[in-house]
């Protein structure tokens, strides 16, 4: 079906208000344009039939990515409303976009960061966290490509625990990749601010947050904060009344308004310029239209560079004919954030038909909309048709799931709402996408693991602790079309230090109520802490009755050395097994370090006894006159309580004195000690 049916749209978003507040009236009377009123409004334009929908999305109007049950939202001034009313549309004010004073000279519209600040932020993050972050210049903007003033490099940042070869486009390793994209449309102020906060949460969470730390150990987090920096620079020139530039800065075509207005300005809409179903519904041939498609697919350097970056990060995992679904084993995910509309959407944009991976994509997006409560479905079904989008390109070309958020209900909200509302509302969804990036089509089917806890987060080695966690298949968004069915939990397990995809060892957890038979279950296990001292990561996951394992959630267990214990044993002659008078001492984990315990044997029996004060990795050395010293290295040892030594006489080799030799041998149990091979006597 090539167009969206009006009835389907109305049914899919029934009851949704784009603002969540009542309409207000402009100062000028309806349909009246004054000479002095330059106020910009978001207008509700009510639909009567399918023909109205096609008229409004033809490219002649500045239609926002938001809507109500029976109306679209169009930005413009009083003249815009008058023109719409002249065509017979019922028009009401939905929002008045006010001017806002600056928070500081380096910001605009009450605190929003400039392009220069975003660029500096990336540099600062890389400088402060060289072990976690790398910045990539992946291309040039339209203005920079032509050597014009206020042109920009196109930047992405990659965040992970860096190893050699990580964050290198064109290469692929054992780490999953997750790409967050914002700033495609310049005048959408909130999305790049969310990217800023996501970057900070990642680098600040490493080594302080177990889930983020685990994610950065095994995932490359890519962020493109400003796909369209030239356009954003134009927006910020408006200061307390930002310009409504949506497109890039290409000013070679048309005779457009400058400064830009909401419905008339230079440039190409980068989200209508992608090389996938270019020039279809929802794109315009008029150069001054907000949705102008450009002269050809990929006519703009920003689009070309973005597609090249994505193609270098992800292997093409799909049949180019698009006749079958992308493989369930597809790895990688992309989240593209726009505003406004409070919507979470999957492909397709170019048609209202379901995509080949419809079930998997809806499982992913409904899992994510659980956190923000957004209306959920495909763009072509709950918003409107649009062609040549970067979102359809990513899914249709590479096979990776692409999710689009339209955040918020106010087009240019107060800056304070970024921290008070928009980021807290969406951070759970950002994390969830990262958790499933390894195999999103499979992992989203499984249950979520929530609130893992330990009876003791810090314990002595060998002292068991109890792990509990909730496994929940219910976390799906509740508003939208195609919500997946909820399954009962059937199993739960945890891994110590090595997760399932790295071939860790699963350890079963048991249902607290005795049976796994509901969609939300609490599971428990007794964790064996016979572990080396330090921090250990527990990865917990659940499975539902469909057989699908969900993503893991991580928590930390800290193991400290056990209390003091007594070690004893004997020192004897290796040849005839006679007791020796010897010294036995313990040092730290590195041979030659300070002695921590010392004892001498009873010459008559060869028996010694000494106290070990909590160390788990240490060396033991036995010395006796005229004998070769023997040294043992015990690594991560908490159970050994008896160590015997058999020393070789220094003068045994052909009756001549042997040089002083130290043998070092790693052991993990007393069984290893008795089996240790030693040099045989010379012939």
Of 409, 394, 381, which is closest to residue 177 (Cα–Cα)?
A: 394
Strands, E, within 601-662: which ranges?
Answer: 607-612, 618-623, 630-634, 645-647
Bridge partners of 666, per DSSP, are 633
Q: pLDDT above 90 covers what percent of the chain?
A: 67
pLDDT in tens, 232-252: 999 999 988 999 999 999 999
Lowest-confidence pick of 57-71, 250-264, 314-328:
57-71
- Answer yes or no: is pLDDT of 502 > 50: yes
The whole-model pTM stands at 0.78
pLDDT given at position 186: 98
Q: When comparing pLDDT for 540 and 54, which is higher? A: 540
Q: Where does the pLDDT of residue 271 fall: very low under 50, low under 70, confident under 90, or very high at 90 and above? A: very high
Encode pLDDT of 421-472 as tens digits.
999 999 999 999 999 999 999 999 999 999 999 999 999 888 889 999 999 9
Region 257-276 average pLDDT: 95
How far is Cα 332 from Cα 315, in angstroms, rounded to an integer? 9
Residue 227: the pLDDT is 98
pLDDT of residue 128: 97
pLDDT of residue 671: 33
DSSP 441-508: HHHTTSPEEEEEEES-SEEETT--EEEEEEEES----SSBS-PPPP--EEEEEEEESS-GGGTPPPEE
Q: The tokens of 243 are what?
A: 């310009």
Predicted confidence band at 59 (pLDDT cuts at 50, 70, 90)?
A: low
Pick 426 or 382 by higher pLDDT.
426
Token pair, residue 199, equals: 């970057």
CA 666 to chain centre: 40
Q: What distance in Å separates the CA atoms of residue 42 and residue 667, rounded to the nearest whole number?
A: 74
Residue matched to tokens 């089996």:
675
Q: Is 677 exposed, middle or buried (0-12, 13-18, 19+ CB in 10 A)?
A: exposed
Residue 99 confidence (pLDDT): 62
> How would you class 324 by CB atoms within 10 Å of its CB: exposed for 0-12, middle for 13-18, buried for 19 or more?
exposed
Choice among 77-91, 101-115, 608-622 with the minimum mean pLDDT: 101-115
pLDDT band at 64 (very low <50, low <70, confident <90, very high): confident
Q: Is the CB of residue 622 less than 8 Å from the CB of residue 629?
A: yes
Q: What is the pLDDT of residues 364-378, one digit of tens each?
A: 999 999 999 999 999
Q: Which of 36-45, 135-144, 376-385 has the lowest mean pLDDT?
A: 36-45
| Listed residue (616, 510, 493) closest to 563, CA to CA | 616
The model's pLDDT over 468-487, given as tens digits with 9 standing for 90+, comes to 999 999 999 999 989 999 99
* Mean pLDDT confidence for 153-176: 96
Least confident piece of the model among 205-214, 265-274, 648-657, 658-667:
658-667
For the chain, the residue count is 683
Contact between residue 382 and residue 349 where contact means Cβ atoms under 8 Å apart: no
Determine how β-strand 176-181 pairs with β-strand 333-338: parallel
> What's residue 208's pLDDT?
96
Beta strands in 34-124 (DSSP E): 40-46, 63-67, 71-76, 91-97, 107-108, 112-113
**pLDDT tens digits along 606-646:** 999 988 766 667 788 999 999 999 998 877 666 677 899 99
- The lowest-confidence range among 13-22, 33-42, 579-588 is 13-22
pLDDT confidence of residue 616: 63
Q: Percent of the chain scored above 70 by pLDDT? A: 85
């Amino acid at each position: 079906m090539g167009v969206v049916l009006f009835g389907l749209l109305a049914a899919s978003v029934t009851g949704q208000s784009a603002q969540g507040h009542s309409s207000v009236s402009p100062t000028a009377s309806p349909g009246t344009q004054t000479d002095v009123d330059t106020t910009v409004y978001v207008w509700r334009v009510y639909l009567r039939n399918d023909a109205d929908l096609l008229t409004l999305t033809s490219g002649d109007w500045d239609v926002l990515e938001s809507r109500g049950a029976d109306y679209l939202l169009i930005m413009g001034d009083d003249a815009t409303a008058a023109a719409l009313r002249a065509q017979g549309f019922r028009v009401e004010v939905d929002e008045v976009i006010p001017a806002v004073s600056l928070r500081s000279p380096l910001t605009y519209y009450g605190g929003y960061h400039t392009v220069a600040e975003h660029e500096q932020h990336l540099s600062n993050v890389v400088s402060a966290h060289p072990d976690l972050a790398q910045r990539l210049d992946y291309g040039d903007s339209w203005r920079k490509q032509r050597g014009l003033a206020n042109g920009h490099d196109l930047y992405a940042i990659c965040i992970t625990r860096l190893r050699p070869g990580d964050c290198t486009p064109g290469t692929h390793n054992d780490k999953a990749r997750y790409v967050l994209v914002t700033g495609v449309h310049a005048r959408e102020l909130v999305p790049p601010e969310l990217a800023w906060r996501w970057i900070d949460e990642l680098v600040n969470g490493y080594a302080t947050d177990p889930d983020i730390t685990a994610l950065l150990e095994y995932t490359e987090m890519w962020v493109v904060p400003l796909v369209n920096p030239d356009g954003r620079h134009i927006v910020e020139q408006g200061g307390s009344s930002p310009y409504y530039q949506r497109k890039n800065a290409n000013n070679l075509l048309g005779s457009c308004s400058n400064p830009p207005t909401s419905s008339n300005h230079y440039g190409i809409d980068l989200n209508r310029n992608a090389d996938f179903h270019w020039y279809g519904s929802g794109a315009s041939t008029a150069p001054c239209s907000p949705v102008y498609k450009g002269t050809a697919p990929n006519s703009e350097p920003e689009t070309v560079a973005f597609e090249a970056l994505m193609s270098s990060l992800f292997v093409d995992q799909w049949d180019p004919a698009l006749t079958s679904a992308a493989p369930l084993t597809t790895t990688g995910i992309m989240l593209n954030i726009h505003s406004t509309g409070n919507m979470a959407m999957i492909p397709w944009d170019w048609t209202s038909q379901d995509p080949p991976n419809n079930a998997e994509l809806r499982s992913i997006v409904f899992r994510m909309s659980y956190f923000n409560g957004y209306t959920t479905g495909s763009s072509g079904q709950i918003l409107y048709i649009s062609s040549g989008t970067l979102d359809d390109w990513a899914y249709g070309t590479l096979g990776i799931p692409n999710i689009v958020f339209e955040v918020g209900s106010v087009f240019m909200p107060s800056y304070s709402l970024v921290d008070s509302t928009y980021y807290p509302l969406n951070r759970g969804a950002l994390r969830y996408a990262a958790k499933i990036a390894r195999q999103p089509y499979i992992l989203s089917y499984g249950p979520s693991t929530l609130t893992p806890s330990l009876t003791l987060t810090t314990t002595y080695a060998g002292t068991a602790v109890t792990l509990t966690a909730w496994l929940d298949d219910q976390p799906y968004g509740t508003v939208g079309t195609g919500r997946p069915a909820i399954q009962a939990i059937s199993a739960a397990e945890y891994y110590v230090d090595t997760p399932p995809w790295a071939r860790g060892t699963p350890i079963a957890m048991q249902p607290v109520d005795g049976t796994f038979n509901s969609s939300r279950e609490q599971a428990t296990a007794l964790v064996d802490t016979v572990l080396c001292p330090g921090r250990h990561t527990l990865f917990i996951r659940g499975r539902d009755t469909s057989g699908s394992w969900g993503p893991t959630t991580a928590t930390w267990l800290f193991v400290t050395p056990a209390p003091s214990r007594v070690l004893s044993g004997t020192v004897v002659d290796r040849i005839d097994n006679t007791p020796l008078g010897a010294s036995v001492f313990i040092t730290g984990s590195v041979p030659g370090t300070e002695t921590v315990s010392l004892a001498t044997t009873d010459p008559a029996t060869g028996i010694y006894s000494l106290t070990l004060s909590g160390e788990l990795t240490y060396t033991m050395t036995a010395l006796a006159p005229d004998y070769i010293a023997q040294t043992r290295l015990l690594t991560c040892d908490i159970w050994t309580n008896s160590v015997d030594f058999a020393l070789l006489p220094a003068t045994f080799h052909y009756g001549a004195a042997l040089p002083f030799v130290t043998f070092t041998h790693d052991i993990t149990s007393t069984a290893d000690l008795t089996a240790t091979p030693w040099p045989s006597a010379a012939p």
